[in-house]
Amino acid sequence: MTKVIQFLADSESKAFDLEHRRKIRFNIGKYNAAVQTGLTWYYDHELARERASYLKAKVINNLDQYLLEFERNFTERGGKVIWAQNAEEALYEIGKIMARRHARTVVKAKSMTTEEIHLNKFLEKNGIESVETDLGEYIVQLNGERPYHIVTPAMHLSKADIAAIFVKHLGIEHTDDAQKLVLTARHLLRDKYTSAEVGITGGNFLIADTGAVAVTENEGNARLSATFPRTHIAIVGIEKVIPTMQDLNLFWPLLSTSGTGQQVTVYNTIYTGPRQPLEKDGPEEMFVVLLDNGRTNLLAQPDKREALHCIRCGACLNVCPVYKNIGGHTYEATYSGPIGSVITPHLSGMAENKHLSYASSLCGACSSVCPVKINIHNILLKNRQQSVEEGHTEKEERIAIQLWMRTMKSRRLLNLLPAKAKNWVLMRMLSQVGWNKRRDALEVAPKSFNKLWKERQ
């Protein structure tokens, strides 16, 4: 089954799953309400968005310089940088580190880039236990699922669902007490931090002038994952660079307010490399894997490269009417929702993922809430244009559009077709896109306006 057929089937299933929609609307509703409250703390939110957009554009348009500046400053403090062109290179280098450390257990903080390269599957295949330490990630890992949402991996699950997962996989007694469920996970994870040989995190920002990785979180699990193990690996997309440490006072609040409605998240940590001689804790060695994995495909396209400005706040998912109806898993991609529909065709191939750019109402809500002002719905249109130009459309569709275009440009050809023939063509074309499935069929009038006008004369 092709990806597009699977997508359409899953979309229909989820859209008519009333219980699924109830959970998503409830959970997203809480986030949206918190965000509206959080925005009131800004004196001029629009000015903050403008500044963030300008800084990200400045970085992306000079990405090579900022990445080299980051590498130079990070390695000066004993850190090591690994440049990975794709997932295979990243996994190969990570595998070498694991082998050298004789790693048997890895504690991993929430990271979309590790999902992107399918790190957990790679480690499992090599006999290494990888434990997700973020509570939401831990829950979906127990349930054998991918993260549902960029920020909230278990957004699709209710408290009762989570309790059932813990009973099934951890053998605990059933409880509706959320505190007990959280404590269960906490007790199970504590020993993992101290016994793991390697800790893995992502990175929300790479700070060029300091050579540092900034990680933001609400649970403290990333801080524990990076501190206790002797080796810390941060896997970060190359687009995550910001120029200076001072820029965090702009980006940290924007990220947290847009994503969860907080002024800032609970834990905000800056890692500048391995433990220094006078420091009391931290890893003996630290690696930063700079992941390309298709990002330079976007960088090479000036009309679409602003998609690389994304700071992964998840705001566009929370306002998207399509996402709220079909859910995150339907996209079958690491990044779901509007921003996922924009970047996935470039990261994973336009031919296999072009359908995602059509999974949008083009209402523009995503663009209106983006904290770095990415014109998301406009790039979706450009993706559609690119897929047509590259010949990824079906042969029947191309023929139908050519015939339609020629006919619409010629009054004579249009008048040659009787109303019955026009209705047959219209029915065939609309049925191909599913119009007639739940809508009344459109019908051409027996007489065209042109014919009525001639008769009137």
Confidence of residue 431 (pLDDT cuts 50, 70, 90): low
Q: Which two tokens stand for residue 166?
A: 């813990």
Is 371 contained in some domain?
A: no
- Confidence (pLDDT) at 366: 96
Q: Are 310 and 372 in contact (CB under 8 A)?
A: yes
Is 311 contained in some domain?
A: no
Compute CA distances 441 → 156, 229, 403, 415, 423, whole Å. 35, 63, 21, 22, 9
Give dist(CA 196, CA 194) in Å, integer. Answer: 6
Give dist(CA 15, CA 315) in Å, integer. Answer: 21
Distance in Å from the first CA to the final CA of the chain: 56
- Confidence (pLDDT) at 341: 96
Confidence of residue 1 (pLDDT cuts 50, 70, 90): low
- Confidence (pLDDT) at 73: 98
- For 260-286, what is the mean pLDDT? 93
Confidence of residue 150 (pLDDT cuts 50, 70, 90): very high
Confidence of residue 433 (pLDDT cuts 50, 70, 90): low
- Among 242, 269, 293, residue at a domain's last position: 293
Same domain, 72 and 198: yes
- Of 197, 286, 262, which Cα lies nearest the Cα of 40? 262
Per-chain mean pLDDT for the chain: 92
Is 346 contained in some domain?
A: no
Confidence of residue 434 (pLDDT cuts 50, 70, 90): low
- Among 293, 313, 335, residue at a domain's last position: 293
Q: If you count them, how many residues does the chain have?
A: 457
Domain ranges, residue 419: 395-456
Give dist(CA 107, CA 189) in Å, integer. Answer: 9
Compute CA distances 159 → 116, 209, 332, 361, 375, whole Å. 27, 44, 25, 31, 36
Is 81 contained in some domain?
A: yes
Helix H, strand E, coil C: the string for 83-129 is: EECCHHHHHHHHHHHHHHHCCCEEEECCCHHHHHCCHHHHHHHCCCE
Q: Is the pLDDT of residue 380 over 90?
A: yes
The DSSP string of 243-298 is S-GGGHHHHHHHHHHHHHS-SS-SEEEEE-SSPPTT-SSS-SEEEEEEE-TTHHHH
Same domain, 280 and 400: no
- Of 189, 251, 187, 183, which Cα lies nearest the Cα of 215? 251
Greater confidence, 342 or 4? Answer: 342
Instruction: Please report, as a single letter, which amino acid is at residue 380.
Output: L
Lowest-pLDDT choice from 158-172, 219-233, 294-308: 158-172
Same domain, 280 and 408: no
* pTM for the predicted model, two decimal places: 0.91
Phi, psi of 264 (to 5 degrees): -145, 160
Greater confidence, 456 or 273? Answer: 273
- For 130-152, what is the mean pLDDT? 93
- Helix (H) or strand (E) holding 237, with range, is strand 231-237
Is 390 contained in some domain?
A: no
pLDDT tens for each residue of 157-204: 988 999 999 999 988 888 888 888 889 888 888 889 999 999 999 999
- Of 275, 166, 155, 264, which Cα lies nearest the Cα of 217? 264
Q: Is the pLDDT of residue 414 over 90?
A: no
Tokens 């003996």 identify what position? 284
pLDDT tens for each residue of 60-113: 999 999 999 999 999 999 999 999 999 999 999 999 999 999 999 999 999 999
The alpha carbon of 329 is separated from its chain's Cα centroid by a whole number of angstroms, namely 11
- Confidence (pLDDT) at 251: 97
Is 336 contained in some domain?
A: no
List of residues 6+ apart from 210 with CB closer than 8 A: 73, 244, 245, 270, 272
Lowest-pLDDT choice from 147-151, 347-351, 444-448: 444-448
- Among 232, 258, 293, residue at a domain's last position: 293
- For 120-131, what is the mean pLDDT? 96
Same domain, 288 and 400: no
Same domain, 48 and 184: yes
* CATH code for the domain of 259: 3.40.50.10420
Is 192 contained in some domain?
A: yes
- For 369-384, what is the mean pLDDT? 97
- Confidence (pLDDT) at 399: 78
Confidence of residue 448 (pLDDT cuts 50, 70, 90): confident
Q: Are 123 and 106 in contact (CB under 8 A)?
A: yes
DSSP 201: E
- Of 213, 240, 243, which Cα lies nearest the Cα of 65? 243
- For 416-426, what is the mean pLDDT? 75
- Of 323, 83, 357, which Cα lies nearest the Cα of 348? 357
Residue 243: count of CB within 10 angstroms of its CB: 16
Count up the domains in the chain and report the number. 2
- Confidence (pLDDT) at 88: 97
Is 368 contained in some domain?
A: no
